[in-house]
Structure 1
Amino acid sequence: WLSYDEATDKVFCEICCSASKMHVPLPNTSRDKDSYVAFIQHGFVNWKALERLNSHEESNLHSAASHALAAVEAGVNIVAACSQGKQKQMQEARRALLTVLSSLQYLACQGHAICGHVDEEANLNQLLTLCADDIPELKSWLNCTTYKWISHDIINEMLSIMAYNVLHTLMKEIHEAVFYAIIVDKTTDISVREQVSFCFRIVKEDLVVEEISFWLLHNRFYLSTDKCRGQCYDGAANVAGHRCGLQALVQEEEPRAVFVHCLAHTLNLVVQDVAQSIGMCRTFLSLIGDLITLVKASPKCLVWFEKFQQEEDKV
């Protein structure tokens, strides 16, 4: 494929020059631009760097030009051939990206850590390396030096998209329900940041009650209060107050949204009062706590307790 120009004492690539004269679309990366300038536009003259000849022969530019000329000799439409090659490249990249997404989804659903102390030890990278043995497209994708789409920012963005998709699916189910009730409570996480938990209670078409819980910081549901038939909170004044509490504000919008004081919270308050007032009850509850600690600390006792629970369930 080498063509020597005696007048300029330079070497050109005959295949690439022919493809360029035919206005064939050729790769346009930085490395391809160097080959284009050296072997098509100005000619190659650096005789001390003959390894550039092998480098050009293995380049995408030379390969694309060779395929284009072969297509012309075979009577194939060059544009169609390039389009087919591009479509194949897109399909391979799409399959590799879907594998990255499915691997990330698996780790997230199983509750496994995604990152490690170093990227090479991360569960995601190890899982992708394992999958690459059976998926050639993924292996070439991971060997890319310019992009892999597995950086920390990209992974966080993928997780956010998955979380939003789950939230959207659940909210669609709530929107399709005829009526719903809400249970709201708030707590603080390990970073002492307040979070609000929403639990929606809906009735399916087969009259089966289903509860859907969300832990939220900043989200909007766009739910109509016309379908709200119940609301349940603890005894705090900001939610249970009969004048300015949340339940009163909701009932102003929808009077049929009946407020119920959380029974679990009421039971907890009763147990606290009983334990403080009656010493025998306090001692009994302490004994129960010690028994639970003992069972959890002993593998044999834990196995025995699980068998006992299974027998109770059968009864």
Structure 2
Amino acid sequence: MENQPRREVGLNLNDIVGDPGKRKPIEEFDVSIRDRVRREYLNMGPCQPIGHKYEKRNMVLKKEVFKIFGLKDKGGRQSDDAFTKTGCSNWKNALERFNYHVGGVNSCHNNARIQFEAFQDQRNSVQGLFFRGHDESSSSSNRGNFIELLLWFSELNDDVSKTLFANAPANNQMNSPRIQKELANACASEVTLAIVNDIGDKVFTLLVDEARDVSMKEQMGVVLRYVNNEGYVIERFIGIVHVIDTSSHTLKCAIDDLLVKHNLSLSKVRGQGYDGAYNMRGEFNGLKSLILQENPYVMYIHCFSHQLQLIIVAVAKGIRVVNDVFSYVSMIVNMVGASCKRKDQLNDEELISGRGKNQETSLVRPGDTRWGSHYFTLLRLCSKWSSVEKVLEVVRDDATLRDNRSTTEGLIERMDNYEFVFTLHLMKHLLGITNELSIALQKKDQILFKPYH
């Protein structure tokens, strides 16, 4: 029997009901439209009936997130029906019911919350997932993401199942490391082609940044920003290019080659956005200027959020006491997170104190240039202050070398120093203000100036 083309399933908006208790379960929708259904539900917001007369014994409390994602905890327990379908009328013991529903770290509530946050944050990347497994043999319980997904897909599709694993010739398993890489490259090519086709003959903006990877190779990442046929502003990552250096001429040649490779023209570029490094924004020999020489209509915009970060870095490093605080904070975070054992000790202290329940217990290591990360580091450190001190005391007492013991003792004394604590809280307050501004500057719908014609 020949494969039939997949029937395109549309969404009937009549199935989108505001009341979570009356909603069609997410698993009853076709798998191809479930994400769209979730977005429709989330866009509706909480269910807040207006003008409804509540019965005395029929007060309803529902929480739609759990029904939208339909999760179970690791023990297989489904979320409480009182929060998804039937409602709650036992208000005398409501607090106890709420605590039971929230449960532990792996409860339905917390799993649903994590899925909800991840679903809202579409900018998250899957590039950090391991493609191959440590043990890909048939006896392994986890053969890696590629083979496990292949097994899952073969269970859904009989045609695929007939050509894989036990049903395939021994010399044609199609799952070797080389084949996996070729398939990944083929998928990347198809995705890139879809992006290029979506751009078509439209004008677009060029966003470029360069960085050095773990193998000490200079890499240039390129993102294209354009307006699609539906009128939405779209940003698409088009590729990473290895460059021998980060001079403006090298970057310009790499951009030209990348655009030619994908049948895109520099004449269609109307905007360019880079960081504030001289090789990017230089008036005479910067990448901005080289592109303007070829296309005078390409407006250069230095990321406003990045400008804010540069100002914060310059001011903070110019004040000795502030610079010292962040140096000591980095040392404290590095000392506490230097090993799994110390992280476990911090987790244990948090659980004993009752502050670590259902919370992220790791300390965030601040980045060198992304000063927004320093704000979250200070928040975490302040919330775990006593626990961090106790872990440092354990590290000091267990230290076998005199230097390590002295360093840890110095960090403990610093945490008890008034000037250090005062400056830390002052910077936490100031970075909280600049963090809100930074987030506002990064909003896609933010219009900071009126375009000229």
TM-score after normalising by structure 1: 0.51
Q: Which runs of 5+ in 1 are unaligned?
A: 1-87, 93-107, 299-308, 310-315
Q: Provide the C-alpha distance between the structure 1 equivalents of 2:190 and 2:154, rounded to a whole number of angstroms.
A: 27
Equivalent position of 1:273 in the other structure: 314
**One-letter amino acid of the counterpart of residue 161, structure 1:** A
Equivalent position of 2:176 in the other structure: 151
Equivalence map 1:165-244=2 (5 Å): 165-177=190-202, 179-217=203-241, 220-222=258-260, 223-244=264-285
Residues 198 and 228 in structure 2, CA contact (< 8 A), matched pair in contact too: no
Change (3 A) 1:112 1:185: closer
The answer to whether residue 296 in structure 2 is matched with residue 259 in structure 1 is no
User: What secondary structure is seen at the aligned counterpart in 1 of 2:259?
Assistant: coil
**One-letter amino acid of the counterpart of residue 200, structure 2:** H
Equivalent position of 1:142 in the other structure: 165
Bigger mean CA deviation after superposition, 166-175 or 204-213? 204-213
User: What secondary structure is seen at the aligned counterpart in 2 of 1:217?
Assistant: strand
Equivalent position of 1:116 in the other structure: 133
**One-letter amino acid of the counterpart of residue 180, structure 1:** F
Q: CA RMSD in A?
A: 3.5
Change (3 A) 1:174 1:281: farther
Q: Provide the C-alpha distance between the structure 1 equivalents of 2:292 and 2:165, rounded to a whole number of angstroms.
A: 57
Q: Provide the aligned length of Structure 1 versus Structure 2.
A: 194
User: What secondary structure is seen at the aligned counterpart in 2 of 1:185?
Assistant: strand
Q: Provide the C-alpha distance between the structure 2 equivalents of 1:296 and 1:200, rounded to a whole number of angstroms.
A: 41
Higher helix fraction: Structure 1 or Structure 2? Answer: 1
Equivalent position of 1:290 in the other structure: 378
TM-score after normalising by structure 2: 0.37
Residues 133 and 139 in structure 1, CA contact (< 8 A), matched pair in contact too: no
Equivalent position of 1:85 in the other structure: none
Bigger mean CA deviation after superposition, 112-121 or 237-246? 112-121
Residues 239 and 245 in structure 1, CA contact (< 8 A), matched pair in contact too: yes
Change (3 A) 1:118 1:229: same
Q: Provide the C-alpha distance between the structure 2 equivalents of 1:184 and 1:202, rounded to a whole number of angstroms.
A: 15
Higher strand fraction: Structure 1 or Structure 2? Answer: 1
1:252 deviates by 1.2
Task: Provide the identity percentage.
Answer: 27
1:127 deviates by 4.7
1:116 deviates by 2.0
Q: Which runs of 5+ in 2 are unaligned?
A: 4-124, 243-256, 330-373, 388-435, 437-453
| Structure with larger Rg | 1
Residues 275 and 302 in structure 2, CA contact (< 8 A), matched pair in contact too: yes
**One-letter amino acid of the counterpart of residue 136, structure 2:** D
